[in-house]
Structure 1
Amino acid sequence: MRRSIFLGLFQLALLSLLALAPVAASADNSIESVRVWPSPDKTRVVFDLKSAPDYSYFTLYGSDPLRLVIDFNNTGLDTALDNLGNDSLLLDLIRTSTPKSTGSTRIVIELNEKSEPQIFPLPANESYPNRLVVDLPGKSVERSGPAKSISELNDRKVTIAIDAGHGGEDPGSVGPTGSYEKTVVLKIARALASLINADPGMQAYLIRSGDYYVDLNERPQKAWQAKADFFVSIHADAFRTPQPRGGSVWVLSKRRADSEVGRWLEGTERKSELLGGAESIIKDTGHEPFLAQTLLDMSMDSSIAGAYAAARHIIGEMSAVTKMHKREPQAASFAVLKSPDKPSLLVETGFISNPTEERLLNSNAHQQKLARAVYKGIRQYFVNNPLDNTYLAKHSNSEYTVKSGDSLSVIAERYGTTVSAIKRENDLRSSVLRIGQKLKIPSR
């Protein structure tokens, strides 16, 4: 009796296994991993697959919870979905559900608010396998630290847009010990933003405030939306051999500038190519194309000239704290530098591919020195080229009221001058300050 019962159970288990076998065999594709990248205005979910995805999707926004459902046809799931999206305000849960067909996988993304998904596949490259990318627009993280939203920016201060290169699934260059460029430059960008926000005449807007990717064309557009007066992109260089090292500062090449002017004036490309002040110039001169081109040329030339001047100040400051690979401003066709309405430049803080420089770039002390050098260079540019009706224009050679925690060295650093110059200007015999004391700040 016991033998027959055992054989019956064995046969039942065997039949169950055989029934399951075709499911695994029929799934030609597989989801190998899932990654989530929250940013201030959207959350990106990336599915890494063995081969190109075959998928469909629909939303269930008339029920609770709000759900985005994605069906991966003929695809298995070879990864866990635990703790995904915990850092996103928009996402609540990513889970599986009953698939619509044998051998398929149904993924359900539960949301805290409605979002119109943008879903697209990406082919494999040298860094990543085949992917399905799901972009969910909506507030996903709180800006933290030195980051400010556009609504928090104040008038009458010079606004500096700081762009930390790469981010999210794009690590940028990778150092010999595995350091990511995206991580290093974000730390330098945050340090720079802190210095700028501590300056009474300046304020910072971080294009990328966390570990997520921003499209290259969106970066100058975000600076324009913030009404920034200056754009600086922070990067770390790399080379195929470890020997090169040192920083450099880059501005837009005139060839790229001339090309962008032509693209802006072509009506078929305006929607995707309009950046910065170009839109208003073209709109105001829509029936006078030659006038539009002349104004755009003048605006672009002025922006490039301003970038060159600022680059020289920054190179001078960086030379005091790090080795420079190039001691003159360099010109290149970087996409992020093409705004015609503001000086725009790109700072290469060093070669992350050089072992010595990789260690330096990972050092908080060195990051702070680089940030301070860039800050002082930008500030000096605006002291020399003040914008009308801004704090720096009104106070570049005026009084400063001493506050708690101030010292002559701190004030000198903040205003791009020296302790001895402040003492000489104010006929000070001592370095001791008192709260409420009035000091005349000399321009350097």
Structure 2
Amino acid sequence: MKLLLVILLSILLAILPFSAPAGPVAVQGVRMTPAAGQTRLVLDLSGPVTHKIFPLEGPDRLVIDIADAELTGQALQSGADDPILIGLRSGVREGDDLRIVLDLKQPVRAKSFPMAPDADHGHRLVVDLIPKGAPKGSSAARAATASRPAAGSRANPARELVVAIDAGHGGADPGAIGSRGTREKDVTLAIARRLAALVDKEPGMRPVMIRDGDVFVPLRQRMRKARKHEADIFVSIHADAFTDPKVRGSSVFTLSRGGATSEAAKWLADKENSADLIGGVDLGASDDVLAGVLLDMAQNATLEHSADAARAVLSNLSRLGATHRGEVQKAGFMVLKSPDVPSMLVETAFITNPAEEARLLNPANQQRLAQAILAGIKQYFNKYRPRSLVRGSNKEAAQQAVAEALADGAAVPASPPGGRQHAIAAGDTLAVIAKRYGVSLSALRSANNLEGDVIRAGQVLTIPGGSPGDG
């Protein structure tokens, strides 16, 4: 019997595919270019990498940790005229990781992003070092984005900014109904059409109507249509309702963190069956940790931009009359869940308030509401002209845009050696941190009053006792 088992095992080993573990990524060289008061480092790589960056003081240094990598090429040393760098040194960390230490002449802000292979180069990691005291509008601060093609260039042709306009409800779904029988689906479509006409007159802007008739459009399909048209902003127009007819005022909503978390879980769960692009990155082609990091980065940037746009719209609506609340509200509305399109839901008025119902039916007031919404959108675009104007069509530029959206968050301090706290860097997950310190997920959640597994770069976690940590 034992002999038979040995024979069967031998046969299985012979016919089963065998995959040798992948070797470390080679850092084939480090190039340095000082320009405009800042220094750019380009690390030439044999493949994609996971990295962390954090500063150290006394003296000033910047540490770049690259997981499962080794330096195989030469690192060009900086010259005496470099405004930031004294020199560079490297070493092995934790057996398999490469640590590069930059000795600095002054404190810096670091921005890093990966670059995919092109016709002339392989994988690269770009690290921009900007003097910490440089104003954000200075030439040194601007130099970090100088290598990106300018709008209107051949590599990044200028295109119109796309405003997706969603008239709430429709078809068999009338929405809320006022005391005079006014249906929400009718007034939202009227306001949406007026807004679309205004957007269409704006140079460099183009409207996309999510529904342009009395038809029913499923909620998730509304979000998908906006992404299909590569919308730069999504505005869903509604009319509120309440049991008390005296309640009045307009409101603006953005997605709640809980809504974002639930949507992230769905996207990650479905990524293998229905791969999609988030900021130009195919989640289906990424491992679970990387996909989670990329999606989290995209969502964080989207939530921040949604809030800025919503505040601008609410401010302009407040000039027309009372707002229901004086600040942007948050909720888990399905239509707001696009991970990479800034989105808001505008409750134009309470249709259940007779006076506001009458104003919703008034064409002049509908026009004023549309004008106020457009004014807020224009203020947002003037402040944050979207970087990802090449979404999907230029994957490398889109990846860079996503990486840069939270680049400042990537350069966070690591936890002190031997300490019992951990400062979260971009790429960390709760499960990885728990495994690193040899503690259970439940204990880590309990020690930090976490209800789920959502963490943010820069957040400091307390590591519960019971096992040594490597800091």
Q: Give the TM-score taking structure 2 as reference length.
A: 0.48
1:412-440 CA deviation, whole Å, 9 max, x = no partner? xxxxxxxxxxxxxxxxxxxxxxxxxxxxx
**Unaligned stretches of 5+ in structure 2?**
1-156, 390-471
8 Å CA contact 2:194–2:370 kept in 1: the answer is yes
- State yes or no: 1:260 paired with 2:258: no
Matches within 5 A, 1:75-94: none
Secondary structure, aligned partner of 2:165: strand
1:166 and 1:172 in contact (8 A); partners too:
yes
**Partner SS for 2:315:** helix
**Deviation at 1:327?**
1.6
Residues 36-435 of structure 1 correspond to what in structure 2 (within 5 A)?
156-267=159-270, 271=274, 277=278, 280-285=281-286, 288-388=287-387
| Identical aligned residues as a percent | 45
Q: Which has the larger radius of gyration?
A: 1
Aligned residues: 233
Segments of structure 1 that go 5 or more residues without pairing to the other structure are 1-153, 391-444
Judge conservation of contact 1:281–1:295 (CA < 8 Å) in 2: no
Cα displacement (A) at 1:388 = 4.2
Distance 1:389 1:306, change over 3 A: closer
Deviations 1:382-412 (A, max 9, x none): 100113497xxxxxxxxxxxxxxxxxxxxxx
Q: Distance in 2 between matches of 1:277 and 1:370?
A: 32
Distance in 1 of aligned mates of 2:328 and 2:280: 28
Distance 1:276 1:183, change over 3 A: farther
Cα deviation per residue 1:233-258 (whole Å; 9 max; x = unaligned)? 00000011211110000000001101
Shift of 1:268: 8.3
* Structure 1 residues 169 and 284: CA distance shift in structure 2, 3 A: same
Q: Secondary structure at the match of 1:265?
A: helix
What amino acid sits opposite 2:169 in the alignment?
A: H
Q: Is the 8 A contact 2:277 2:283 kept in 1?
A: no
1:188-232 CA distance string (max 9 Å, x none): 000100111100021100000011110001001001111111111
Residue aligned with 1:171, SS: coil
CA contact (8 A) 1:220 1:275 kept: no
Query: Are the equivalent residues in 2 in contact too, given 1:276–1:339 (CA < 8 A)?
Result: no
Contact 1:253–1:333 under 8 Å retained in 2: yes
Cα deviation code 1:319-343 (max 9, x no counterpart): 1112210121100000000011110
SS in 2 for 1:217: helix
Corresponding residue of 2:145: none
Residue 263 of structure 1 contacts residue 270 of structure 1 at CA under 8 Å; is this kept in 2?
no
Q: Structure 1: which amino acid aligns with 2:330?
A: A
Cα distance in 2 between the residues matched to 1:276 and 1:191: 32
Q: Secondary structure at the match of 2:208?
A: strand
**Any idea what SS the aligned residue of 1:212 has?**
coil
Question: Measured at CA, do residues 277 and 268 of structure 1 come closer, stay the same or move farther in structure 2, by a change above 3 Å?
Answer: closer
* Residue type of the alignment partner of 2:361: N
Query: Is the Cα contact below 8 Å between 2:271 and 2:284 reproduced in 1?
Result: no
How many angstroms apart in 2 are the aligned matches of 1:258 and 1:337?
13
- With normalisation by structure 1, the TM-score equals 0.50
Cα RMSD after superposing both structures: 2.0
Once the two structures are TM-superposed, the CA of residue 160 in structure 1 deviates from its matched residue by 0.5
Q: 1:194 to 1:175 in 2, by over 3 A?
A: same
User: Residue 347 of structure 1: CA displacement?
Assistant: 0.3
| Partner secondary structure for residue 236 of structure 2 | strand
Q: What is the distance in 1 between the residues matched to 2:280 and 2:235?
A: 21
